[in-house]
Amino acid sequence: MQVPLTANHQSLRNHRLDGVLDWAQMLSGVGLILFMWAHMLLVGSVLLSPGIMNGIADFFESSGMAQVGGPLIFLLFLGHFVLAARKIPFRLEGQKTILEQAKLLHHQDTWLWVVQATTAMVILIMGAIHMWAVLSDLPIVALKCAETLQKNSGWLLFYLVLAPLVHVHLGIGLYRIAVKWGFVGRAGRKGLKRFVNLLILVSVGISVLTLFRFWFMTV
C-alpha cells in the first residue's frame, strides 16, 4: 500500500482528477451505447426497406450531420479508449494476473471484465477501420453497402465479427455501469443480468439480419 495521502492539511486539499475521469469514462461509454443503438436502428431500417435506409442516410448527409457527427463519434470512440485504457493492464504481468485470477475464482463477473477488455482492443482496431472505410466513401446508400459486401465476402466476415463483439462489449458495459454506480443494487443484479443477456441477443440478432439483408440484396 502507498504512503497515506490522507492528512487533512489545507495544502493537500486535492482536486485530483480520478473522480472526474471516472465520470468521463462512464459518460463516454453511455454516449457510445446511445450512438450504437441509434446506429443499429438506422442501418437496420434496411430490413424494412432499402428506401427508408437511404432516406435516413440522405437526411444525415444533406444536413451535414454525418460529415460533422462522424468524426465527432470517432473522437468519442478514441476518448473512451484513452479513458478506459487506464484500467487495462498493458503489461504481460498484469494480464497474467487477471487471467489467473479469473481462472482461479471461476467467477463470472471477473471473466466478463476479461471479455470486456479483450473485445475492447479488437473493437478499437476494427471499429477504426470501419469508420474510415465508411466516412471516406460517403454517401451511404443501401445498394453500395450491399455491393461492397457481396464483391468481397471478407467484409461480410469482418462485420459478422465486429457486430457481436460490439454488442457484447456494450452489454457488459451497461451492466457494469449499473452495478458500479449502484443504479442497480444487490436485489436487482440477477434480473439485470438477464436483461443484458436478452439485450445482447436481440442486438446481435438485428445486426446479423441486417448484414444478411445486404448480402442477399440484388445489386
Which residues sit at the interface with ligand HEM, rule CB under 6 A? 25-26, 29, 32-33, 36, 77, 80-81, 84-85, 87-88, 113, 116-117, 120-121, 123-124, 127, 166, 169-170, 173-174, 176-177, 180
Supply the minimum distance, in Å, between the C-beta of residue 64 and other proteins.
32
11 binds other proteins (CB under 8 A): no
Q: Which is nearer to other proteins, 30 or 128 (CB)?
A: 30
Supply the minimum distance, in Å, between the C-beta of residue 202 and ligand HEM.
15
Q: Which of 11, 19, 64, 154 binds other proteins (CB under 8 A)?
A: 19
Give exposure, 191-207, as e/b (b: 16+ Cβ within 10 Å): ebbebbeebbeebbebb
DSSP 2-56: PPP-----GGG----SHHHHHHHHHHHHHHHHHHHHHHHHHHHGGGT-HHHHHHH
Supply the minimum distance, in Å, between the C-beta of residue 176 and ligand HEM.
4
The answer for 20, left when phi > 0, alpha when psi is -120 to 50, beta otherwise, is: alpha
Supply the minimum distance, in Å, between the C-beta of residue 30 and ligand HEM.
6
**If contact means CB under 5 to 8 A according to the sort of partner, which of other proteins, ligand HEM, none does residue 144 touch?**
none
Q: Which is nearer to other proteins, 6 or 218 (CB)?
A: 6
Cβ neighbours around 166 below 10 Å, total: 23
Q: What one-letter code names the amino acid at 72?
A: L
Cα 169 to Cα 100: distance, rounded to the nearest angstrom: 21
150 binds other proteins (CB under 8 A): no
Q: How far is CA 168 from CA 15, 108, 129, in A?
A: 35, 14, 19
Cα 136 to Cα 130: distance, rounded to the nearest angstrom: 10
194 binds other proteins (CB under 8 A): no
Q: Which of 55, 71, 89, 191 binds other proteins (CB under 8 A)?
A: 89
> Which stretch in 75-83, 108-116, 150-158, 194-202 sits in contact with other proteins by CB under 8 A?
108-116
Residue nearest to ligand HEM (CB): 173
CB 202 within 8 A of CB 129: no
Cβ neighbours around 41 below 10 Å, total: 11
Supply the minimum distance, in Å, between the C-beta of residue 121 and other proteins.
16
